[in-house]
Amino acid sequence: MSRILSIALLFLLNFVAFTGCRGPEGPPGPQGPAGPAGDGGELQLPQVWDVDIVLDVGNQFFNIFEVPIEVLPSDIALVYYLDFIEFDNNGEIEREIYTLLPHIYEDEVGGQPTDIEIKNFIDLFRDDSGAWFMDIELLLISLGEDLVANNYDAGGDFGFRIVYIPADFSPDARLDFTDYQQVKEIFNLPDEPEKLDKRTR
C-alpha cells in the first residue's frame, strides 16, 4: 500500500513540475511579408452584339467572329438567329424574332428539298499574355445535298445576335434561353446592340 502511495506521490510531483515550467508568453513575432497583389479586375457584365454576315459559296458557308472582351473558360455565349421581322402598317419594323441556334430550315438544294442547319461553335483561346478570348464560328450545314457543289444561294445576309453571360451571373434555372426577349429582360440588354465586325486572322 505504501508503495502505491509513493508512486502516486511521485507522479503528482512530476506533473506539478512540468506544468510549472512554462514561462511568461513572449512578445509577438514580426509581421510577415505582404502577399501578391490582386488583379483588381472589374466585374464583367452580360453583353450583346449584332452580327450581319453573308454565308455563301465564296466563304463555303462559314464565318468567324471574336468576342471583343477578355473572358473566362466558365463564361457562356448564346447565339440567336434573326428568324423573322414583323412590320407595321407604315412599313416600320415592329418586332424582330430571334431563334436560339442551332436552327434547321428547309430549302431546295440542287432541285431537292434539303434540311439546312444554321450552327455555331465556341472556340476558346489564349493570347501571349495568357488571357482568354472567345471566337464564335457561324456556318450552314446541309443535312442532305452538298451546298457548295450545288452552288446554293442562301438568300443574302444573315442576322445574328450574340449574348455573352459571365460565369458570375448565375441565371435562374427557370430562365428559358430559347426566348430571347426573356434573356434580354433578365440581363438588361440594350434594344440596339453594338455591331460586331468579322475577325481578321
Question: In this structure, are strands 194-195 and 47-54 parallel, antiparallel, or unpaired?
Answer: parallel
Residue 200 lies in a domain: no
Task: Place 156 in a pLDDT band, splitting at 50, 70 and 90.
Answer: confident
Residue 154 lies in a domain: yes
Q: Which helix (H) or strand (E) holds 19?
A: helix 2-19
User: In the sheet that 76-87 helps form, which strands lie side by side, from edge to edge?
Assistant: 93-100, 76-87, 157-165, 47-54, 194-195
The residue type at 96: E
Residue 177 lies in a domain: yes
User: How many other C-beta atoms lie within 10 A of the C-beta of residue 133?
Assistant: 16
Mean pLDDT of all residues in 137-148: 95
Place of cell 445576309: 157
Residue 35 lies in a domain: no
Residue 109 lies in a domain: yes
Q: Is the pLDDT of residue 21 over 90?
A: no
Residue 3 lies in a domain: no
Range of the domain at 122: 47-195
Residue 162 lies in a domain: yes
What is the number of domains present in the chain? 1
> Rounded mean pLDDT of the chain?
82
Residue 129 lies in a domain: yes
Q: Are 187 and 181 in contact (CB under 8 A)?
A: no
Task: Place 94 in a pLDDT band, splitting at 50, 70 and 90.
Answer: confident
Mean pLDDT of all residues in 29-53: 68
Quote the pLDDT of residue 5.
41
Residues 160-182: pLDDT tens digits?
999 999 988 876 767 899 999 99
